[in-house]
Structure 1
Amino acid sequence: MLSNWDIFTDFAVAGGLLLIGKWLRANVILLQKLYLPAALIAGMLALAFGPAGLDLLPWSSAFASNASVLTVMLFASLGLATDFPSMHTLMRRAGSLWAFNQIATVSQWAFAAMAGLGLIALVWPELPPAFGIVMPAGFMGGHGTGVVVGETLQGQGWEDALTLALTTATVGIFASILCGMGLMHLGVKKGWIKNFATFNELSFTERRGLIVPSQQQALARNGVSSVSIDVFAMHAAVLLLVTMLGYHGAKYLSSFHHMVQVPAFVAAFVLGLVARLLMRKSQANRYFDDAIFSHATGSATDFLIVFGVGAIKITILMNYALPIAVLMIIGLLFNLFLVLVVAPRILGDNWFEKAIFSWGWLTGTVGMGIALLRIADPKMRSKVLDDYAIAYVPGSITDLIIVSMVPILMMQGMAHIAIGAMWVYVAAVVAIWLLFLGGKNRLATR
């Protein structure tokens, strides 16, 4: 039986690996040139020295389940730090980026589902019907979405799905950086970007992923007196409460029918939005700081990657080695098509900076997109992150629906409904872009 100290030990070990990963990132030139995040380095160490490798780490028997809890907490913190933009702001400021995000996101899922069914029909008939979607689950959402989709598919009877989704998430991070750097060199050659920062042009501190003292900023705004309560304790209390209510709320809503499965991360995200609205209505938001909730999201993501990569089961992965390799190659080629062919026709000014950022989150995580953008646009003149922040929130609703419903539909023999609905949505977004976001004019001027 697990004790509280077993769980504490899991997080302490993961924390130690993160510190080692950061030390290696700051001191090993190769890791700096690859722009690998410390969390991924720590995750690879967890895989090498954990149960799938040398088995030297004192993990508890249920250490892999920590990733599930962190995923729910991650989405709870996202909800607590998220504001919905007005329709006017969305359409005027970030309409084209919203359209591209939606087209890229949903078409990747639809294409992957079709590719998986094609591989099943032509080469590997023994694969489960949802095989194809483990690629976008890991590529687009990183390890967080990989955990959600993997566990959903496990609940539908495919036990190996979690390992495959975590594998695609891990490979996706490597691909986002390695292929992303290749894309940027192509962009320089073609004249698509002018401000590309090579590794040699970065300062010694920037290469190590550190910030010099003169440029360091305060972590957060302190809205309460420590005489009454510590500011981090107050934020943590809200985050933990929303996470807990999200888990139990999803469990309750899913108890009515076996076909109704409400993911805990969706419930946590919605409750986070509700809590934020209540704080705004009561003016309590004056004493909370979005920066703290955003750091909670980042912290949960870092620990999630460590547990997620460490939970990959090599023996299971080897059984799927060839089909999963083929699937990921197909996925990378499709994403290259989106970035090099679709993006320049939709994104308008600074299209390449927006596209290289999009490549990062299409294959890895938003963090990888930001890392690539800082190299392509070191002075952030393109304002891509500002536009993405506006476009993300309405787009996230689509993500939640896809991640919640598509895995179940694919496993329940309703793949044609899921795929057809996704392509209809893509067509609808294209129509909106053409009719209301200046798409016709942009195409006419090319």
Structure 2
Amino acid sequence: MELVEFDSDGLTMLLVAVTGLGMLLILGVLFRMWVPLLRRIFLPASLVGGVIGLVLGPNIVGVVPDEVSATWSGLAGVLISVVFAPMLIGQRLPRLREVAEDAGPHVWMSWFSTAAQVGIPCLLLYLVFEQGTGTDPLFSTIFEASWSGGHGTAAGMEQAWSALGWEDGSSLALGAATISLIFGISMGTILINIGARRGHLRHLDDKADEVESDVIGEEGSEPRMETRLSPQSLSTLGFHFSLILVAILIGFGFKVLLDPIITGMPLFPLAMIGGLIVHLAISRTRLYRLVDKPTLDAIAAVFLDFLVVSAVASLSIPVILENWIALTVISLTMAVLTLCMFFYLAPRIFKRDWFENGLVQFGTQTGVVATALLLLRMADPNMRSNGYRGLALSRPFVSPFIGGGLVTALFPILVMEYGNLWVGLGCLVFCVALIPLGRMFRLWVPSSSRKRLKG
């Protein structure tokens, strides 16, 4: 990995590009205030601002210079490391009994859906598009990264695809992520209405308030971050951001060591491992008392907003138009796949509150955790089901690996090494093997219980 020195002109260009992203984020917030439809369909300000930047960019209006757009495009692969590095710092791993009862079904279904979201596109690409239209073999890997990973992972995987010689991956993945987000929210809302009519939603409150405004009153605000370090020493944001930077530095060291062995390994999963090392290193020291997980999450959220707006604003429209047939066909297949898993697997995996838990899984399969929480809050406003607990407890066994984790980063490498046919077949074999495994660990609900749950 070659290091390049920045001169003052390059740093100035970077500063101008970042200030432009700040303007787009503010415009995204204002547009959500001005256009109630954007709030009703739950589009985040970062995505709205990114679309504004895309319209103003060189592919459409041409207000944004090519140099600024190119800088935005390169930022995503850097910012994703800051998002992932703090994931395991200050993270308490749940006990095995907790995982087995509430998180076990979520862990099982997350891994099953990930294997399906990789295996089916791989086989479709090999059998239909790779031979007939000459579509790049790595095209199959954008769907798990975008449908389960969301816009952040879709943008952050740019370095992984570029290192393997495919520059178009990030733009296509962002297009797929936008499709999955819109489908997930719209279809999830339809599923909630179906569930309410059929009596599946036992915790639904018809008087639940809708989000009328993005401006939260004083009574609704919740102070989360805690300061445990004297400001005379260092600001609490400075301390936590320094922990993140140390984790990224450790991850960079791993990347230097792995580059000759595993070509194309991106930095962000290694930065996450670096975060785990930081966590273990300070967990038995006085420094650990200073760690505030909400502060780390807030820093990651800031960089995720900048990541999404920069990636969407620099999206390559010609690349999407060039691959629209394959993108449309496989996206429709993914939509059918997620619905099949919801209606067939959820009642068989979740022993209680199957509809709410199924919605959580549907949300994570069509977007990000935020989509899952959004749908769950619509179906269970007071969080009386065990859907939120199951999701939270399952994250340490899911997020570091799939839907944007270490395994997601390995999929493009595996496709380049073994081809779509063998990766696709391997993933489907993995799906089949998970079924008896679920029965062995008593995750599979007996047929008599399923009739009672559906009734």
Of 238, 256, 260, 2:260 maps to 256
- CA distance in 2: counterparts of 1:147 and 1:32, whole angstroms: 24
2:20 is aligned to 13
| Paired residue type of 2:256 | Y
1:245 to 241, 250, 257: 250
CA separation in 2, counterparts of 1:148 and 1:217? Answer: 30
The correspondence for 1:341, drawn from 344, 361, 370, is 344
Asked if structure 1 preserves the Cα contact closer than 8 Å seen for 2:83 and 2:300, the reply is yes
Which amino acid letter does the alignment assign opposite residue 159 of structure 1?
E
Maintained 8 Å contact 2:137/2:419: no
Q: Deviations over 1:374-403 (max 9, x none)?
A: 111111111322221211111235413431
Shift of 1:125: 3.4
Aligned amino acid, residue 93 of structure 2: F
Match of 2:183 in 1: 175
Q: Give the partner amino acid of 1:71.
A: I
1:409 matched to 2:418: no
In the alignment, the residues of structure 1 paired with residue 96 and residue 208 of structure 2 have an alpha-carbon distance, to the nearest angstrom, of 40
Q: In 1, Cα distance between the equivalents of 2:328 and 2:270?
A: 33
CA distance in structure 2 between the aligned counterparts of 1:27 and 1:37, rounded to whole angstroms:
14
Cα pair 2:33 2:213 within 8 Å, conserved: yes
In 2, the alpha carbon distance for the partners of 1:271 and 1:96 equals 29
**Which of 369, 386, 389 is 2:389 aligned to?**
386
Q: 1:202 is matched with which residue?
A: 209
Q: Where in structure 2 are the equivalents of 1:286-435 lying within 5 Å? A: 286-399=289-402, 400-435=405-440
Distance 1:281 1:425, change over 3 A: farther
1:438 CA displacement: 4.1
The amino acid across from 1:39 in the alignment is S
Q: Secondary structure at the match of 1:445?
A: helix
Q: Are residue 53 (structure 1) and residue 60 (structure 2) matched?
A: yes
- Alpha-carbon distance, 1:7 to partner: 1.6
The root-mean-square deviation of aligned C-alpha atoms, in Å, is 2.2
Deviations 1:185-204 (A, max 9, x none): 11112221145467x9525x
Alpha-carbon distance in structure 1 between the residues aligned to 2:99 and 2:342: 22
Deviation, 1:404, is 2.4
Superposed CA offset, 1:386-431 (max 9, x none): 2212111112354134312221221234334423332333334323
1:158 maps to 2:171: no
The equivalent residue for 1:236 is 241
Change (3 A) 1:83 1:149: same
Distance in structure 2 (CA, Å) of the matches to 1:139 and 1:442: 30
| CA displacement, residues 237-281 of structure 1 (integer Å, 9 cap, x when unaligned) | 1112222332x2243123323x44432111101111111122212
Question: Which sits farther off after the overlay, 154-163 or 417-426?
Answer: 417-426
Are residues 1:133 and 2:137 paired?
no
User: Any conservation in 2 of the 1:116–1:129 contact (CA below 8 Å)?
Assistant: yes
Q: What number of residue pairs does the alignment pair up?
A: 439
The answer to whether the 8 A contact 1:187-1:193 is kept is: yes
1:110 equivalenced with 2:124 (yes/no):
no
**8 A Cα contact 2:164 2:263, kept in partner:** no
Contact 1:52 1:312 in 2 (8 A): no
Aligned-residue offset at 1:20? 1.6
TM-score, length of structure 2 as denominator length: 0.90
Encode CA deviations 1:322-363: one digit per residue, 9 max, x unaligned.
Answer: 221111111111111111221111122111111212222211
- Structure 2: distance between partners of 1:311 and 1:298: 20
CA shift at 1:81, angstroms?
4.4
- Tell me the equivalent position of 1:277: 280
Correspondence for 1:75 among 84, 105, 108: 84
Name the structure 1 match of 2:38: 31
2:98 corresponds to 1:89? yes
1:105-144 per-position Cα deviation (integer Å, ceiling 9, x unaligned): 222211222222232267x331122322222221110123
Q: Deviations over 1:23-47 (max 9, x none)?
A: 2213322112212111111111111
Residue of structure 1 aligned with 2:107, choices 57, 81, 98: 98
- Using the TM superposition, give the Cα deviation of residue 150 of structure 1 relative to its aligned residue in structure 2, in angstroms: 4.1
Listed as ranges, the gaps of 5+ residues in structure 1 are none
Whole-angstrom distance in 1 between the partners of 2:327 and 2:258: 31
Contact conserved, 2:121 with 2:424, CA < 8 A, in 1?
Answer: no
Tell me the residue number matched to 1:188. 196
Distance of 1:357 and 1:88 partners within structure 2: 21
Q: Which amino acid aligns with 1:262?
A: M
Deviation at 1:60, TM superposition (A): 5.8
Asked whether 1:22 is paired with 2:62, we answer no
Letter in 1 for 2:108: A
Query: Quick one: which amino acid aligns to residue 188 of structure 2?
Result: G
Matched-pair contact (CA < 8 Å) for 1:358–1:369: yes
User: Hey, what does 2:3 align to over in structure 1?
Assistant: none
Residue 3 of structure 1 aligns to a residue whose secondary structure is helix
Q: 1:21 to 1:369 in 2, by over 3 A?
A: same
Cα pair distance change 1:186/1:355, threshold 3 Å: same
Mark the runs of 5 or more structure 2 residues left unpaired by the alignment: 1-6, 451-455
Q: Does 1:445 align with 2:449?
A: yes
Q: Which moved more, 1:91-100 or 1:230-239?
A: 91-100
TM-fit CA distance, 1:365: 1.2
- Letter of the aligned partner of 1:102 in structure 2? W
- Name the amino acid aligned to 1:402: V
Tell me the amino acid that sits aligned with residue 140 of structure 2.
G
Match of 1:63 in 2: 72
1:144 to 147, 152, 156: 152
CA distance in 1, matches of 2:330, 2:90: 35
Overall identity of the aligned pairs, in %: 24
Letter in 1 for 2:126: L
